[in-house]
Amino acid sequence: MRTIHDIHGGIHPPERKALSRPGDLQKAPIPPVLVLPVRQHLGVPALPVVAVGDTVMGGQVLAEAQGVMSVPVHAPTSGTVVAVESRPIAHASGLTDHCIVIQTDGENRWLDFEGIARWQDMDPAVLVERIREAGLAGLGGAGFPTAVKLSPGPARSIETLLINGTECEPYITADDTLMQCRADELVEGAHILAHILSADSILIGIEDNKPDAIARVQAAISRAGATIELATFPTKYPSGGEKQIIEILTGQQVPSGGIPADIGIVCVNPGTAVATQQAIIDGKPLTHRIVTLTGEALAAPQNVSACLGTPITQLLEHAALSAEAQQRIIHGGPMMGFAVSDLNAPITKITNCLLAPTATELPLPEPAQPCIRCGHCAEACPASLLPQQLYWYARAKDQEQLAEHRLFDCIECGACAYVCPSQIPLVQYYRAAKGQIRDSEQEKRRSDNSRERFEARQARLEAETAAREAKRAARKAAAQSQAAKNGSDPIQEAIERAKARKAEQEPNP
């Protein structure tokens, strides 16, 4: 039996998962209009390849990937492109982004797709390319392009594929529902991923508060006759963090600033494994995902399979939102999610939950008070950081100290803010500080590039000047040499020629 390790810190907030009835998967209706951002992933936006007025089919490419850190966007159903423009998106800062807007036709006509039955015989590079073409990005929340994660490079040897079925955030049951309803696809997807990575073993980790999912996955493993290990472990937030589940199940720690592949592990979400199975076996692109609709302001909380691009307001209406009861809509969970400023914003590949709490269910935080240096935040931090020090350095914009205190090891789980008696929104400070550091680094790169371009231009100009001078000197030397041979003075000859031309131009008296 596998040894289960504990992680530093962590908390036990109310789970509230039963509210959305995990395991009961419904199908959300196709909305009249779909709004599809061209960036639903971490990286470079996709480039639209359709125009207003184009008729599209389900599964058709709407925007093509631009480079390695990009994934394409596909139509979730048939309809007509009515706009390619900036629209509000689900973002903590209420931003807009470039979107492709489709008016659906209600016919749900799809392109025909061809899968790969004997994927075991295929070169992994071919399968990775199929996954990239299918538009897969991590469905656990980060949206990292799956094809990139599956290409760790020759310097890294992958020993273990880890399927992270923890789903530790309160309220959210999308992965729980997926593991119950699509366990066979999960197991096959895991085998495909392990083949691509040449992984020696497959490990599925699930918290012990999901007994039905554990039973369904174990049954699927048995049906497949698979050599997959299923490990369960005690429920604690945030055990689902990538680095945290690796430590829990293996006892290994990912190095600061490193990635799991550095220690021979690749970690993926169950939804990503199922999407891989659909992309390879069925040839289908990623156009739908499971979303938890929950909160006491909903009369019918549930898990739905919804078209990407569905406006948030449509899903809330489907779950019977009480406008009088709800105080805000949260994209994600109560710990790591954010309030949505425009309910016309669409769901994307990284939308796992829409939370509609009442004012009594999740009260708004009280105004922040001064830090009392109690140390509770440090005790709760799963990354063994010093949140109170990071808070002071973030306020002071001391980037050197922030780097020294490993700001970028913070996973923004919110455990520190949850236990803070002063109600300080610590994670907001960390996110802002990270953004400022990234901006500074980007500005430095721009400055370095400008300096390098200037220096290269100066060097080129100096080389051109030197070349011209060398040619001029060579011509002069050649002329002098010729004059010496002819016994003439080229300078005097030039003067005489000038005098002759002048004399010709003067009028006769």
What per-residue confidence (pLDDT) applies to 42?
87
Judge whether residue 506 has pLDDT over 80: no
pTM beyond 0.85, yes or no: yes
Largest CA distance in the chain: 122
With CA atoms as reference, report the closest residue to 38 among 11, 18, 62, 20.
Answer: 62
Cα torsion 31, 32, 35, 36: sign: positive
Judge whether residue 125 has pLDDT over 90: yes
Residues 458-486 have pLDDT tens digits of 999 999 999 998 888 888 888 777 767 76
What per-residue confidence (pLDDT) applies to 476?
80
Mean pLDDT along residues 175-180: 98
- Amino acid letter for position 99: C
What per-residue confidence (pLDDT) applies to 93?
80
Mean pLDDT along residues 421-447: 92
What per-residue confidence (pLDDT) applies to 442?
85
Judge whether residue 171 has pLDDT over 90: yes
Residues 390-406 have pLDDT tens digits of 999 999 999 999 999 99
Residues 80-96 have pLDDT tens digits of 999 999 999 998 888 89
What per-residue confidence (pLDDT) applies to 490?
66
Selected residue with higher pLDDT from 93 and 411:
411
Mean pLDDT along residues 63-86: 97
Residues 233-287 have pLDDT tens digits of 999 999 999 999 999 999 999 999 899 999 999 999 999 999 999 999 999 999 9
What per-residue confidence (pLDDT) applies to 508?
58
CATH of domain 18-28+120-331: 3.40.50.11540
Residues 179-233 have pLDDT tens digits of 999 999 999 999 999 999 999 999 999 999 999 999 999 999 999 987 899 999 9
How many angstroms separate the CA atoms of 394 and 288, rounded? 39
Task: Look over the chain and give the mean of its residue pLDDT values, rounded to a whole number.
Answer: 93
Bridge partners of residue 189, in order along the sequence:
none
Mean pLDDT along residues 130-136: 97
What per-residue confidence (pLDDT) applies to 325?
79
Residue with tokens 């709800």: 326
What per-residue confidence (pLDDT) applies to 255?
93
In contact, 49 and 61? CB cutoff 8 Å: yes
- Give residue limits of the domains in the chain: 18-28+120-331, 365-504
Selected residue with higher pLDDT from 502 and 448:
448
What per-residue confidence (pLDDT) applies to 439?
87
SS (H, E, C) 289-347: EEEEEECCCECCCEEEEEECCCEHHHHHHHCCECCCCECCCEECCCCCCEECCCCCCEC
Tell me the residue ranges of DSSP E strands in 110-184. 160-164
What per-residue confidence (pLDDT) applies to 30?
98
Residues 318-377 have pLDDT tens digits of 999 998 877 899 999 999 999 999 999 999 999 999 999 999 999 998 999 999 999 999
Judge whether residue 133 has pLDDT over 70: yes
Residues 33-58 have pLDDT tens digits of 999 999 999 889 999 999 999 999 99
Structural tokens at position 48: 């639209």
Mean pLDDT along residues 288-298: 97
What per-residue confidence (pLDDT) applies to 154?
83
By CB neighbour count within 10 A (0-12 exposed, 13-18 middle, 19+ buried), where does 450 fall? exposed
Judge whether residue 509 has pLDDT over 60: no
